[in-house]
Amino acid sequence: MSAGTDDEVASEVYSVGIAAARLLRSAATGDRAAFALLFDRFGALFSASVAAVHSDAATRDRLCTEAFAEVWRRCPEGARSETPVLWLLEVLCETLGTSRALARRPMGTGLLALPCPDRELLLLAVAGRYTQPEIAALTGVGEPALRRILRDALTSLRGGAGDGRLTA
Protein backbone atom coordinates (compact mmCIF):
# COMPACT_ATOMS: atom_id res chain seq x y z
CA MET A 1 0.00 0.00 0.00
CA SER A 2 2.52 2.61 1.07
CA ALA A 3 6.14 2.92 2.01
CA GLY A 4 7.07 3.68 5.59
CA THR A 5 7.75 2.10 8.91
CA ASP A 6 5.63 -0.78 10.16
CA ASP A 7 4.03 1.53 12.74
CA GLU A 8 3.14 4.10 10.06
CA VAL A 9 1.64 1.44 7.81
CA ALA A 10 -0.30 -0.13 10.68
CA SER A 11 -1.60 3.28 11.74
CA GLU A 12 -2.68 4.12 8.19
CA VAL A 13 -4.43 0.79 7.71
CA TYR A 14 -6.02 0.91 11.16
CA SER A 15 -7.46 4.31 10.27
CA VAL A 16 -9.19 2.72 7.25
CA GLY A 17 -11.09 0.42 9.61
CA ILE A 18 -11.92 3.30 11.95
CA ALA A 19 -13.17 5.37 9.01
CA ALA A 20 -15.28 2.46 7.75
CA ALA A 21 -16.90 2.09 11.18
CA ARG A 22 -17.58 5.82 11.45
CA LEU A 23 -19.01 6.04 7.91
CA LEU A 24 -21.20 2.97 8.41
CA ARG A 25 -22.61 4.43 11.64
CA SER A 26 -23.39 7.71 9.88
CA ALA A 27 -24.84 6.00 6.81
CA ALA A 28 -27.02 3.87 9.10
CA THR A 29 -28.76 7.08 10.19
CA GLY A 30 -29.46 7.96 6.54
CA ASP A 31 -26.43 10.19 5.97
CA ARG A 32 -26.01 10.05 2.18
CA ALA A 33 -22.77 12.05 2.25
CA ALA A 34 -21.22 9.47 4.58
CA PHE A 35 -22.38 6.69 2.25
CA ALA A 36 -20.83 8.54 -0.70
CA LEU A 37 -17.53 8.72 1.20
CA LEU A 38 -17.82 5.00 1.99
CA PHE A 39 -18.34 4.34 -1.71
CA ASP A 40 -15.34 6.51 -2.61
CA ARG A 41 -13.11 4.82 -0.05
CA PHE A 42 -14.07 1.20 -0.84
CA GLY A 43 -15.20 1.38 -4.48
CA ALA A 44 -11.77 0.40 -5.84
CA LEU A 45 -11.52 -2.57 -3.45
CA PHE A 46 -15.02 -3.72 -4.43
CA SER A 47 -14.21 -3.35 -8.12
CA ALA A 48 -10.94 -5.27 -7.84
CA SER A 49 -12.65 -7.97 -5.78
CA VAL A 50 -15.43 -8.36 -8.34
CA ALA A 51 -12.80 -8.48 -11.10
CA ALA A 52 -11.24 -11.46 -9.33
CA VAL A 53 -14.53 -13.31 -9.83
CA HIS A 54 -16.04 -11.91 -13.06
CA SER A 55 -14.32 -11.11 -16.34
CA ASP A 56 -17.02 -9.00 -18.01
CA ALA A 57 -16.70 -5.26 -17.32
CA ALA A 58 -20.44 -4.55 -17.54
CA THR A 59 -21.12 -7.37 -15.09
CA ARG A 60 -18.47 -6.02 -12.72
CA ASP A 61 -20.03 -2.55 -12.74
CA ARG A 62 -23.53 -3.95 -12.18
CA LEU A 63 -22.37 -6.17 -9.32
CA CYS A 64 -20.49 -3.32 -7.61
CA THR A 65 -23.65 -1.22 -7.80
CA GLU A 66 -25.75 -4.10 -6.42
CA ALA A 67 -23.26 -4.68 -3.61
CA PHE A 68 -23.25 -1.03 -2.56
CA ALA A 69 -27.06 -0.95 -2.73
CA GLU A 70 -27.05 -3.91 -0.33
CA VAL A 71 -24.53 -2.13 1.92
CA TRP A 72 -26.86 0.90 2.01
CA ARG A 73 -29.83 -1.32 2.87
CA ARG A 74 -27.91 -3.13 5.62
CA CYS A 75 -25.94 -0.17 7.06
CA PRO A 76 -27.47 -0.56 10.54
CA GLU A 77 -26.07 -4.11 10.66
CA GLY A 78 -22.66 -2.90 9.47
CA ALA A 79 -22.66 -0.11 12.04
CA ARG A 80 -22.75 -2.78 14.77
CA SER A 81 -19.98 -4.88 13.25
CA GLU A 82 -16.73 -5.21 15.17
CA THR A 83 -14.89 -5.72 11.85
CA PRO A 84 -16.43 -3.21 9.43
CA VAL A 85 -14.07 -3.88 6.51
CA LEU A 86 -14.70 -7.62 6.71
CA TRP A 87 -18.42 -6.91 6.97
CA LEU A 88 -18.31 -4.81 3.79
CA LEU A 89 -16.50 -7.61 1.95
CA GLU A 90 -18.94 -10.17 3.34
CA VAL A 91 -21.85 -8.19 1.85
CA LEU A 92 -19.95 -8.03 -1.44
CA CYS A 93 -19.30 -11.80 -1.41
CA GLU A 94 -22.95 -12.51 -0.62
CA THR A 95 -23.95 -10.33 -3.58
CA LEU A 96 -21.47 -12.11 -5.83
CA GLY A 97 -22.65 -15.50 -4.61
CA THR A 98 -26.27 -14.78 -5.45
CA SER A 99 -25.53 -13.26 -8.86
CA ARG A 100 -26.50 -15.22 -11.93
CA ALA A 101 -23.70 -13.78 -14.06
CA LEU A 102 -22.33 -16.13 -16.69
CA ALA A 103 -18.93 -14.49 -17.11
CA ARG A 104 -17.48 -15.89 -13.91
CA ARG A 105 -13.72 -16.45 -13.92
CA PRO A 106 -12.48 -20.04 -13.48
CA MET A 107 -11.52 -19.49 -9.82
CA GLY A 108 -14.52 -17.27 -9.06
CA THR A 109 -16.81 -20.09 -7.99
CA GLY A 110 -14.14 -21.60 -5.75
CA LEU A 111 -13.37 -18.23 -4.18
CA LEU A 112 -17.02 -17.60 -3.39
CA ALA A 113 -17.36 -21.11 -1.94
CA LEU A 114 -14.73 -20.35 0.72
CA PRO A 115 -16.15 -19.74 4.19
CA CYS A 116 -16.35 -16.30 5.74
CA PRO A 117 -13.90 -14.70 6.71
CA ASP A 118 -11.45 -16.75 4.59
CA ARG A 119 -12.71 -15.36 1.28
CA GLU A 120 -12.77 -11.78 2.60
CA LEU A 121 -9.22 -12.04 3.94
CA LEU A 122 -8.06 -13.54 0.63
CA LEU A 123 -9.75 -10.70 -1.28
CA LEU A 124 -7.95 -8.13 0.88
CA ALA A 125 -4.65 -9.82 -0.02
CA VAL A 126 -5.31 -10.45 -3.70
CA ALA A 127 -7.67 -7.71 -4.85
CA GLY A 128 -6.85 -5.11 -2.21
CA ARG A 129 -3.11 -5.80 -2.42
CA TYR A 130 -2.77 -5.44 1.33
CA THR A 131 0.20 -7.10 3.04
CA GLN A 132 -0.33 -9.58 5.85
CA PRO A 133 0.63 -7.03 8.55
CA GLU A 134 -1.80 -4.55 6.96
CA ILE A 135 -4.63 -7.11 6.89
CA ALA A 136 -3.91 -7.99 10.52
CA ALA A 137 -4.08 -4.32 11.51
CA LEU A 138 -7.23 -3.76 9.46
CA THR A 139 -9.15 -6.79 10.73
CA GLY A 140 -7.72 -7.61 14.14
CA VAL A 141 -6.86 -11.14 12.98
CA GLY A 142 -3.42 -12.06 14.33
CA GLU A 143 -0.70 -12.63 11.74
CA PRO A 144 -0.10 -16.32 12.60
CA ALA A 145 -3.83 -17.06 12.29
CA LEU A 146 -4.01 -14.94 9.14
CA ARG A 147 -1.17 -16.88 7.52
CA ARG A 148 -2.91 -20.15 8.35
CA ILE A 149 -6.26 -18.92 7.00
CA LEU A 150 -4.70 -17.66 3.76
CA ARG A 151 -2.68 -20.85 3.34
CA ASP A 152 -5.74 -23.02 3.87
CA ALA A 153 -7.86 -20.88 1.52
CA LEU A 154 -5.25 -21.09 -1.24
CA THR A 155 -4.88 -24.84 -0.68
CA SER A 156 -8.63 -25.22 -0.99
CA LEU A 157 -8.68 -23.20 -4.22
CA ARG A 158 -5.74 -25.12 -5.61
CA GLY A 159 -7.61 -28.37 -4.99
CA GLY A 160 -10.48 -27.14 -7.15
CA ALA A 161 -8.29 -25.78 -9.95
CA GLY A 162 -7.59 -29.13 -11.54
CA ASP A 163 -4.03 -28.55 -12.65
CA GLY A 164 -2.84 -26.92 -9.42
CA ARG A 165 -2.43 -23.43 -10.88
CA LEU A 166 -4.38 -20.47 -9.59
CA THR A 167 -5.68 -18.24 -12.34
CA ALA A 168 -7.97 -15.26 -12.17
Beta carbons within 10 angstroms of residue 97's beta carbon: 14
The model's confidence at residue 165, banded by pLDDT at 50, 70 and 90, is: very low
Nearest to 50 by CA among 41, 61, 38: 61
d(CA 127, CA 114): 16
Q: Specify burial of residue 41 (Cβ count, 10 A radius: 0-12, 13-18, 19+).
A: middle
The class of domain 6-160 in CATH terms is mainly alpha
> Which is more confidently placed, 159 or 51?
51
Mean pLDDT of 68-80: 96
Which SS3 state, helix, strand or coil, does residue 33 take?
helix
Mean pLDDT of 96-104: 70
Residue 81 has phi, psi (to 5 degrees) of -70, 140
What's the whole-model pTM score? 0.73
Of 7-11, 20-24, 135-139, 162-166, least confident by mean pLDDT is 162-166
**Cα angle: 153, vertex 72, 65; to 5 degrees:** 70
